[in-house]
Amino acid sequence: MQPAQVPGPDYCWRDIAAIADGAPMRLSGDAEARIARARLIVDAIVAKGVRAYGVNTGVGALSETVVPREDQRSLSRHIVLSHAVATGPLMSVPETRAIMAAAIANMAHGHSGVRPELVTYLLALLDQGCTPSVPRQGSVGYVTHMAHVALVLIGEGEALVAGQLRSGQDALACIGLSPLTLDTKEGLSVINGTPCATGLACLALARAERLLDWADAVAALSFECLGGQLPSISADAMAMHRSPGLGRIAEVLRSILDGSERLKRAQGMRLQDALSVRAVPQVHGAARDAFEYAASVIDRELASCCDNPLVHGTPTHPQVSSTAHAVGAGVALAMDTLAIAVAEVAAMAERRLDRLLNPLVSGLPPFLAETGGVHSGLMIAQYAAASLVSENRRLAGPASLDGGVTSGLQEDHLSHATPASLKALAIISNSARVIGTEWVAATQASDLYHGEETRAPGTERLHARLRALLPPYADDRPLGRDLDRAARVIREENVKPVGTRSPSSC
């Protein structure tokens, strides 16, 4: 027997992240043909009575229960209704679009067995801005979140259309569709696999990449403000360590700091900087290496079939394989790793922030305030950053080790891939606030520099970007608003003092 052939990847993590943020999604002709062919195989399985999980049997611990042919369509609808149990606050529009795009990418491999019509409906939801309401909590790895998307396909649930929350049936009508009647296997296929975890992971990668670029640039500004010793990041010294990320970050720092008259004056003033200043290439570089690992895992997941069961063979000789590809252990481990890496970068940023505010090591006014005592300056900003770093530490515990037992011992090991992706997103969001706070402090510190020496062109651009957004802080307005605005820039804009793009691409 020849193994099932899996096509090359149609999508990579950057594609899914772009679709999440509003880019259109289109299927290639080859993908459409694969989907149609897989449906013919499912039809043959049904006609021949080949035993297949979720086609003519129950699901989970009911996998040995035979479902008569006349009830198999009802099974699809019942699966969707009974599995839509997510709870809590709703996912954002980009998050929901990401999981829908990842689901379509999985179906495009041609081993799920859904009708082309179902995929057309999902594409229409994306194309016409109809976003199902999907609660964030309640998944141990898969099924529950996509079930809420599937509710809208059958005219149930709720969806956001043009800013208005509507019933599933009304939402479909708004985009010219009628509720879909699910056919055999479609109820299971539309909710199964790792699309939720993988789609959210694609968003996490996009946001983490942007954050890490900002972290490098802001660290360089702090390095200049604190009079960092350039030999610690010299090309010769960095070449003695084999980490690819370390060498790349050191090069970025040198590029941003090139031409700094302030650093020239500071050279030789101390033998060795504190680790939060001296070890930026080592920590940020390790985070970049972790990022590259996570990106490669997610791209492999998108290139893989993660449904259960998988259909293959031919309509004449249909085959079906029950697998555990939907478990998503690789996604969970990758997102746990990325979350820890980002959390460490933020933790180091908070330490540099503290040094900028501490006159014992900065040589600047206490807490960067105009008049100590009368003004508190950025004192409490460091408190907030410390709180976020502590929250990150709590969130960074590995979801992949949470375990658990579900479905009457049938599913007795759980990877918690979707929770791993969700907590990575939370850590990235927290870290944007920490990096934003360091940016505010480093810019204020740069303004308070006593000498006449100029900044590096790279740090000058970073300083000017914040000053175009915010004036110097003088206890004259709520500080939290300033920090929110800085964090928003870090979340939404790419930093451009130098080219700091990660090499990961597709």
CA distances from 75 to 40, 47, 79, 143, 188 (A): 19, 17, 6, 15, 9
pLDDT, tens digit, 9 for 90 and up, residues 404-413? 666 555 666 6
User: Residue 394 is inside which H or E element, if any?
Assistant: helix 379-395
278-335 residue pLDDT tens: 999 999 999 999 999 999 999 999 999 988 899 999 999 999 888 878 888 899 999 9
Q: Which residue has the higher pLDDT, 139 or 418?
A: 418
Q: What whole-number distance in Å separates Cα of residue 249 and Cα of residue 285? A: 6
Q: Please give the structure tokens belonging to residue 24.
A: 């259109």
Average of per-residue pLDDT across 214-237: 97
Banded model confidence at residue 71, pLDDT cuts 50, 70, 90: confident
Which is it for the CA torsion 396, 402, 407, 410, positive or negative?
positive
Residues 103, 106, 109, 115, CA torsion sign? negative
Lowest mean pLDDT among 2-11, 62-71, 291-300, 367-376: 2-11
Q: What is the pLDDT of residues 25-55, one digit of tens each?
A: 999 999 999 999 999 999 999 888 888 877 8
Average pLDDT taken over every residue of the chain: 91
Q: What is the mean pLDDT of residues 220-231?
A: 97
pLDDT at 8 over 80: no
What are the tens digits of pLDDT across the range 164-178?
A: 999 999 999 999 999
Rounded-to-integer distance, Cα 82 and Cα 59, Å: 11
Query: 259-268, pLDDT tens digit by residue?
Result: 999 999 999 9
- DSSP helix/strand/coil, 312: strand
Q: What is the mean pLDDT of residues 378-383?
A: 96
- Helical packing angle, 195-225 and 244-257, nearest 10°: 40
SS3 at position 223: helix
Among 94, 151, 81, smallest CA distance to 122 is for: 151
Q: Is 131 helix (H, G, I), strand (E, B) or coil?
A: strand
Q: Which position among 53, 121, 142, 473 bears the catalytic label? A: 53
Q: Is the dihedral of CA 427, 428, 430, 435 positive or negative?
A: positive
Position 58 scores a pLDDT of 72
Which helix (H) or strand (E) segment is 438 a member of?
A: helix 417-447
Q: Is residue 119 within 8 Å of residue 107, measured between CB atoms?
A: yes
67-71, 104-108, 185-189, 372-376: range with highest mean pLDDT: 104-108
> Pick from 480, 469, 483, 472: which is nearest to 444 by CA?
472
pLDDT value for 327: 84
Instruction: Please give the domain boundaries of the chain with CATH numbers for all domains.
Output: 13-192 (1.10.275.10), 204-286+327-405+412-492 (1.20.200.10)
Indicate the pairing of strand 164-167 with strand 135-137.
unpaired
What distance in Å separates the CA atoms of residue 315 and residue 140, rounded to the nearest whole number? 35
11 catalytic residue (yes or no): no
Verify cis geometry, omega within 30 degrees of 0, for the bond prior to 135. Answer: no
Q: 3-state DSSP call for residue 335?
A: helix
Which range has the worst mean pLDDT, 135-139, 250-254, 394-398, 438-442? 135-139
Task: Give the predicted TM-score (pTM) of the model.
Answer: 0.94
d(CA 238, CA 242): 8
What residues contact residue 131 under an 8 Å CB cut-off, 6+ apart? 93, 96, 97, 125, 159, 160, 161
A 10 A CB-CB count for 472 gives: 14
Across 252-264, average pLDDT: 97
Least confident of 198-202, 304-308, 340-344: 304-308
Burial of 501 (0-12, 13-18, 19+ CB in 10 A): exposed
List, for residues 478-498, the tens digit of each pLDDT value. 999 999 999 999 999 998 645
Contacts of 397 (CB under 8 A, 6+ apart): none
pLDDT of residue 405: 65
List b or e across 475-484, with b for residues whose CB sees 16 or more CB atoms inside 10 angstroms: eeeebeebbe
Rounded Cα–Cα distance for residues 108 and 302 (Å)? 10
